[in-house]
Amino acid sequence: MKRKIGFILGIILGLTVAFLPPPVGLTVKAMLGLGVFTWAVIFLIFDVLPDYIVTMAMCGLWVLVGAVKFNVAFSFFSNPNWWVLVGAFGLGLAAQKTGLLRRISLLIMKLLPSTFKGQTIAMIGSGTIISPLIPSFTAKAAICAPLSRGISDAMGYPLKSRGASGLFAANVVGFIAMAPAFISASYLGFMLVSLVPKDLQGPFHWMGWFFYMLPWTVVLLILSFICIMYFYKPKENDSLPAGYAAEQLAKMGPMGGKERITLIVITLTLLLWMTEKLHGASAPVVAVLAVAVLLTMKVYERADFRSGIAWDAAVFVGTIVGIGTVFPALGIDKWMGQALFPYISPLFSDPYLFVAGFSIIIYLIRFVILSQTATIAIFMVMLGPLAVQAGMSPWIVGMVVYVAGNTWTAFYQNAPYVAAFYAVGGDMVDHGQIAKLSVAYMVISMIGLLACVPFWQMMGLIK
C-alpha cells in the first residue's frame, strides 16, 4: 500500500511541478527538471523502486524531457571520483573474499584483554582500523558482526543480556558509526566530495578528510566506549576462554598467497592515498591500478569482478550525483538558495548554531527519507550555495548530513545496522536495547562536530 501511494503521489506531484508556470529566476526547462526531481524524491521516500533504478530513470528523464543534455545528466561517470569508488569497491571485494577483514579483527582481539571491557575496545578498534579498507557499510557489518556473537557465546552471555548487547553495540560503533572518519570507509565519502564544487575540492583528499574529522573521531571513540560501559557492562566479571582468539585464527589457517597480496595492495593503496600531495599520483589512478594488480594476480576472477562489486551502488552514486550538475545547469541551485535564504540564513549566522540546529533537522528528516545517500545529495545541492555565501565550505554541510544521518534509532533507518542485526541471527539483541545507544550517538556526534568547528575555522573551512 505504501508503495502504491508513493507511485501515484510521485507521478501527480512530479507532473504538477513540471507544468507550473516558472517563478522569477527559473525557466520552463528548469521546471521540467524540478518535476522529474520531485517524482524521484517521492519514489525514494516511499521506496517504490530500488534506489539505483529511480535515480537512473531520473537522469534519463532529464534528458528525455529536454531539461539537460546527456553529458550533463550522467556527468559523474566521467568524473575521476567515480573511478576511485570503483577501485575502492574492488579493494573491498578482495579483503572480503580472502578473509583479511576477519583475520585483522581476530588479531586485534588477541592483543587485548579477554574481559568485556577489553573485547569492547577490540570490537570498536577493529572496526575503526578496518573502516578505510572497504567502502561498504553493509558488507563490513555482515562480515564482522558475527564476531560479536562468537565472543558473546564464548563468554556465556545469554541472548539479549547486557553483555551480549554491549558487544553487538561495540561492533555497531566500530564498523558503522565510525565510517565518517575516513573518506574511503563508505562510498558516501567519495560521493560527498564529488558534490563539492570542483574549485573547492582540493583539500578533501584522503589525509585531508581524516585530519578535518579528527576531533569528531576522538570524541566518538571515547564517549561511545563510556556509554557502552554504562549501558551494557555486565555485573559479573566474565572473560573469554584462554586462547579463544588464537583458536579462531588457527581455524583460519596461515595467511595464504592471495590474502598476502591483498594486504600488500591495500596497504600500498592507502599509503599512496594518504601521501597524494607528496608524489602527485592521483587517487583515481592509484585505485584503478590497484584493482588491475588484484585481477592480474588472480586474487579474484572476472566472474567475481562482475558479481562481487556493488555495481548497483556505483550506478546509484553516479546518477544521484547528477543532481549536483543538473541543478546548476538549470539555475535551480541559485533559485533555491534565494528562496531558502530567509529561513535558513539564521543557522548560517553562527557555525556552532548551524552544526547543532542542522543536526537536529537531519535527525528528524531521516525518519522520513530512508536513503542516506539521497539525503546528502539533496541537502548539499540545496544548501551548498548558501554555505559558500556564508563563508563556509559546502563539505561541512555534507558532513553534518552524513554524521547526523548515520543513526539507527528506528530499526528501518539504517540498512547496515539491519544487516548486522540479522547477521548475528536476529535474536542476539533487542533493537530497543541498541536504540538507546543511537540516541547517545546523536548527542555524542553533535558534540564531536561542535569540537570540529574551531578546528575548521583554523584550517580555513569557515571564514
- Judge contact between 409 and 439, C-beta under 8 A: yes
Q: Is a pLDDT exceeding 90 seen at residue 317?
A: no
Q: Average pLDDT in the 290-297 region?
A: 94
Question: Between 312 and 356, where is the model more confident?
Answer: 356
Q: In the structure grid, which three cell numbers stand for residue 125, read together?
A: 578498534
Which pLDDT score is estimated for 391?
92
DSSP 389-433: HTTB-HHHHHHHHHHHT---SSGGG-HHHHHHHHHTTS-SS-HHH
Which pLDDT score is estimated for 422?
86
Lowest mean pLDDT among 16-20, 57-61, 411-415, 452-456: 411-415
- Judge contact between 427 and 401, C-beta under 8 A: no
Which pLDDT score is estimated for 336?
80
Q: Is a pLDDT exceeding 90 seen at residue 324?
A: no
Residue 167 pLDDT level (bands cut at 50, 70, 90): very high
Quick: pLDDT tens for 358-407.
999 999 988 877 778 888 988 888 888 889 888 999 999 999 999 999 99
Residue 407 sits at φ, ψ, to 5 deg, of: -100, 165
Which pLDDT score is estimated for 192?
94
Q: In the structure grid, which three cell numbers stand for residue 214, read together?
A: 579528527
Q: Average pLDDT in the 323-351 region?
A: 84
Q: Average pLDDT in the 227-248 region?
A: 86
Quick: pLDDT tens for 57-106.
999 999 999 999 999 999 888 888 788 888 888 888 898 889 888 888 88
Which pLDDT score is estimated for 131?
87
Residue 221 pLDDT level (bands cut at 50, 70, 90): very high
Q: What is the pTM of this model?
A: 0.83
Quick: pLDDT tens for 98-130.
988 888 888 888 888 889 999 999 999 999 998
Which pLDDT score is estimated for 34?
93
Which pLDDT score is estimated for 177?
95
How do the domains of the chain map onto residue ranges? 50-459
Q: Is a pLDDT exceeding 80 seen at residue 56?
A: yes
Question: Between 208 and 317, where is the model more confident?
Answer: 208
Q: Average pLDDT in the 428-449 region?
A: 96
Q: Average pLDDT in the 160-186 region?
A: 94
DSSP 103-169: HHHHHHHHHS-SBHHHHHHHHHHHHHHHGGG-S-HHHHHHHHHHHHHHHHHHHTPPTTSHHHHHHHH
Which pLDDT score is estimated for 438?
96
Q: Is a pLDDT exceeding 80 seen at residue 340?
A: no
Residue 447 pLDDT level (bands cut at 50, 70, 90): very high
CA separation for the pair 118, 128 (Å, rounded)? 15
Which pLDDT score is estimated for 175?
92
Question: Between 48 and 143, where is the model more confident?
Answer: 48
Q: Is a pLDDT exceeding 80 seen at residue 341?
A: no
Mean pLDDT, the chain, integer:
90
Q: Is a pLDDT exceeding 80 seen at residue 3?
A: yes
Which pLDDT score is estimated for 136?
76
Q: Is a pLDDT exceeding 80 seen at residue 142?
A: no
Cβ-Cβ contacts under 8 Å for 339 (sequence gap 6 or more): none
User: Nearest 10 degrees: CA dihedral of 123, 188, 88, 309?
Assistant: 90
Q: Average pLDDT in the 288-308 region?
A: 92
Q: Is a pLDDT exceeding 80 seen at residue 440?
A: yes
Which pLDDT score is estimated for 123?
92
